[in-house]
Structure 1
Amino acid sequence: MTEYDTETQVTDAQQAALRLANVDEETRNAALASIADAVRDNTETILDANASDVAEAEAMLDRGEYTQALVDRLKLDDAKLEGIAEMIESVTGQSDPLGRTLEARELDADLELYKVAVPIGVVGTIFESRPDALVQIAGLALKSGNAVILKGGSEASESNRVLYELIRDATSDLPDGWIQLIEAHEEVDRLLEMDDSVDLLMPRGSSEFVSYIQNNTQIPVLGHTEGVCHVYVDTAADLEMAEDIAFDAKVQYPAVCNAVETLLVDADVAEAFLPDIVERYEDAGVDLRGDAATREIVDVGVATDDDWETEYGDLELSIRVVDDVYEAVTHINAHGSKHTESIITDDTDHAETFMTSIDAASVFHNASTRFADGYRYGLGAEVGISTGKIHARGPVGLAGLTTYKYYLEGDGQLVATYAGEDATPFTHDALDGEWTPGRLSGE
């Protein structure tokens, strides 16, 4: 990969962003199709690079420097690469997020105001060991007309480099510099200083990492932090359903941020529910710990105060018995990460109380937390899952990578006409229809 200094890369991305914003949807979709083809056509090259990363990561695991969850997230195989290609194709199939009229209003006759969706500009992303995240983020940035600067974890450096080069070469018809890869930690520090050129940063990692980024830059930050997710089994739960959901939420893929980390069980059903789910968890190799009330019913380890706020990212789970839905809500709002929470119940009042009282990006009723995902939500893919509230929340897809402009179409109007005692009043009537250039002149 050709080496460039970070400032040059960001400048190139900034210039590319201005041109990419005017690339039509057909061209962007064709470029996305080329990326999907490149992934499929270069499977062996990608897997060879990934094998090098995995071998080094496993050596670090043996030395106790990496976790098994990190190694699991790092690994690619034929099925994952096909999933990456299909994800890009799903982004291609999404509606164009650009040029949509979000709101339209007549200020007066032949004076019309349109609020229109446009790209953010230059987006910087710093993400963890999953190399598929690089392709996912690049695809979403391209579809939404944004230039993107990518910084993956050093543990995935070989995989990221190959994927970046494939994407860059597959999109050679797009404005040069729309995608950039930085690799060194010092490049990140330089990037954080470039608030005049970078429009948004999207870090994915621990709360400490996201806080570091937020505290060391003036660039707006949309953080993807850990997922301390909960499943609450209510007194009115269908226990067979609850068991299946609680198991899926932990075991189906424990290394991801939407996997459950704490299981809350209503005291009224704890004795009936816990023995079977604990046996099922233990058969799957889950390391369990619980509060005193849980340990009176099942033989599990002791849960500490730290466990309630820990994202294990592995086959580990904490269990707590609560008195009712209100205590479940209190526990989650105190210890959760505002990611994804689920209640299992047949009582609609309890479901409503839980769902409206929980402060989280996603709140589910009778469903696994693992559904919190941009692809599963029908967003095509996601840049990350935002646990904040501004400007995007939950899985951040194409809409989260856009902002808007106001377009005013007039016919020679002057502000003086609307000032003073004899001023013409504004109509401020809502308008239907989309903005098009030269709308009033009939061009």
Structure 2
Amino acid sequence: MTNIREIIYNLGKNAKIASQLIRSVDITKKNIALKNLKKNIELNADKIIEENSKDLDNAVKKNLSPPLINRLKVNKDTINGLIKSINIILELPDPTGKILHEWTQPNGLKFKKISVPLGVIGVIYESRPNVTVDAACISLKSGNALILRGGSDSFYTSKFLVEIISKSFDEAGIPKNIIQMIPTTDRKAVDHLLQMTEYVNVIIPRGGKSLITKIKSTSKIPVIKHLEGICHIYVDHEADLEIAKKVILNSKLRRPEICGATETLLIDEKIKQKAKDLIMPLKELGCEIRGDKFIQSIDKSFINASEADWSTEYLDKILSVKLVNGINEAIHHIQTYSSGHTDCIITENEDSFKTFYNNIDSAIILKNASTQFADGGEFGFGAEIGISTDKLHVRGPVGAQHLTSFKYIIHGSGHERP
């Protein structure tokens, strides 16, 4: 049997060839491929859910946590979400071939800076099979080849989705191997992928902290990191408390298992008598509250928050809560514990917002809105490969327009450099 290294290197070689061929494919053909995919997902919806049930059965046998199982689950709503994303991506302009800047030098040389695809992208993800479709669509739209490595938890779902995607793209005449999936769950496959500097241009990991740390330390290829989402909400003393209640509830409990879910709530001590009103709706919906001494005094079911809680991404119905002495202490807490993902302030004071914005160095800052808007779809990108907590190349949701680089074109008329 062919060894794993050979399998992965063949994927890389094929992807590089495909990445060169896709550059000459126009946006019309790409959009036909996306329409084919939308049609084939609709036609195969029941089969997708059937394959997903195999992954869900395995997840139960492995005693995965309920939040992880929720991330893994595909149902009719998930299918509808994929269709909605594809429709939005269809409407997006081609992010490649755009003139980003042009100018003429005094010597008459004419310069253009033009957007181009990155090339070959390796996406490594864990238990979210929707990433398979999202990554394929925005990679195609931006003219990139894609190598996918889904986690063992979502293997059956992702494998079948790749079959549908490949069929859809083939029907539109898209170059073969524009999307490939690593056909094994053996972890050695990832190790080989991370060394293929001659074939792969960038690695995008989506998963837990341990996955990101391993890839960052092992990869010889540039990595666009998606670190954990330790997201905060600070309720200022000049907040509209009705807005605060709604935003806190949605930020934590709409989908507690996603990276945009709030994990820590900070309340200005000037409104500490309103803290119960802000927190109890969460408790009533089954959220565990871990807090400081004052927060614990509100309800006997609230437990002590340890030092570790302030830096924990729960991805579950758990929230750490703390009183702070004004906006400066809130900022200090967030600066200490934030992962640089998404942070929010609830306030009616514009100066307070400006202070918060200028001092919190996260990819996404919200005012009076749920942290769960940290999503490429909500940004109008159609989908995302991840939410980058890096500062170089791309920051925040990574959509099709972010999977590009640029090159310069210079026009002369026999110019010679003196």
The two structures have a TM-score, normalised by structure 1, of: 0.90
Structure 1 residue ranges (4+ consecutive) displaced by more than 6 angstroms after TM superposition: none
Contact 2:244 2:278 in 1 (8 A): no
Contact 2:95 2:115 in 1 (8 A): yes
Cα deviation, 1:355-412, whole Å, max 9, x if unaligned, reads 1110100001111101111110111211100011111000011121000010111111
Counterparts of 1:29-428 in structure 2 under 5 Å?
A: 29-61=31-63, 66-108=64-106, 110-172=108-170, 173-182=173-182, 183-184=184-185, 185-272=187-274, 274-299=275-300, 300-416=302-418
Which 5+ residue runs of structure 1 have no aligned equivalent?
417-443
- Give the whole-Å Cα distance in 2 for the aligned partners of 1:109 and 1:92: 42
- Give the whole-Å Cα distance in 2 for the aligned partners of 1:176 and 1:275: 59
Cα deviation, 1:200-222, whole Å, max 9, x if unaligned, reads 00011223321211211221000
Percent identity, aligned pairs only, is 37
Contact 1:290 1:319 in 2 (8 A): yes
Contact 1:16 1:176 in 2 (8 A): yes
Structure with bigger gyration radius: 1
Aligned to 2:30: 28
Cα deviation, 1:169-211, whole Å, max 9, x if unaligned, reads 1101111111010133111111111112110000112233212
Contact 1:345 1:351 in 2 (8 A): yes
- Give the whole-Å Cα distance in 1 for the aligned partners of 2:260 and 2:297: 29
Contact 1:36 1:86 in 2 (8 A): no
Contact 1:195 1:217 in 2 (8 A): no
Structure 1 window deviating more from structure 2 (182-191 vs 303-312): it is 182-191
DSSP-derived class of the 1:171 partner: helix
The one-letter code matched in structure 2 to 1:90 is: I
The one-letter code matched in structure 2 to 1:286 is: C
Deviation at 1:68, TM superposition (A): 1.0
The one-letter code matched in structure 1 to 2:205 is: P
DSSP-derived class of the 1:319 partner: strand
- Give the whole-Å Cα distance in 1 for the aligned partners of 2:380 and 2:61: 38
The one-letter code matched in structure 1 to 2:285 is: A
Deviation at 1:277, TM superposition (A): 2.6
Aligned to 1:438: none
The one-letter code matched in structure 1 to 2:296 is: R
DSSP-derived class of the 2:62 partner: helix
Deviation at 1:294, TM superposition (A): 1.8
DSSP-derived class of the 1:136 partner: helix
Contact 1:119 1:402 in 2 (8 A): yes
DSSP-derived class of the 2:294 partner: helix
Deviation at 1:109, TM superposition (A): 5.8
- Give the whole-Å Cα distance in 2 for the aligned partners of 1:393 and 1:306: 27
Deviation at 1:113, TM superposition (A): 0.7
Deviation at 1:270, TM superposition (A): 1.6
- Give the whole-Å Cα distance in 1 for the aligned partners of 2:55 and 2:206: 20
Deviation at 1:108, TM superposition (A): 4.0
Deviation at 1:296, TM superposition (A): 3.2
What RMSD in Å do the two structures reach over aligned CA positions? 1.4
The one-letter code matched in structure 2 to 1:43 is: A
Cα deviation, 1:290-310, whole Å, max 9, x if unaligned, reads 012322344311100110011
Aligned residue pair count: 410
- Give the whole-Å Cα distance in 1 for the aligned partners of 2:212 and 2:76: 32
DSSP-derived class of the 2:24 partner: coil
Counterparts of 1:8-27 in structure 2 under 5 Å?
A: 8-27=10-29
- Greater helix fraction, Structure 1 or Structure 2: 2
Contact 2:206 2:212 in 1 (8 A): yes
Cα deviation, 1:107-147, whole Å, max 9, x if unaligned, reads 24652110000000000000120101110011000000000
The one-letter code matched in structure 2 to 1:176 is: K
- Give the whole-Å Cα distance in 2 for the aligned partners of 1:298 and 1:99: 59
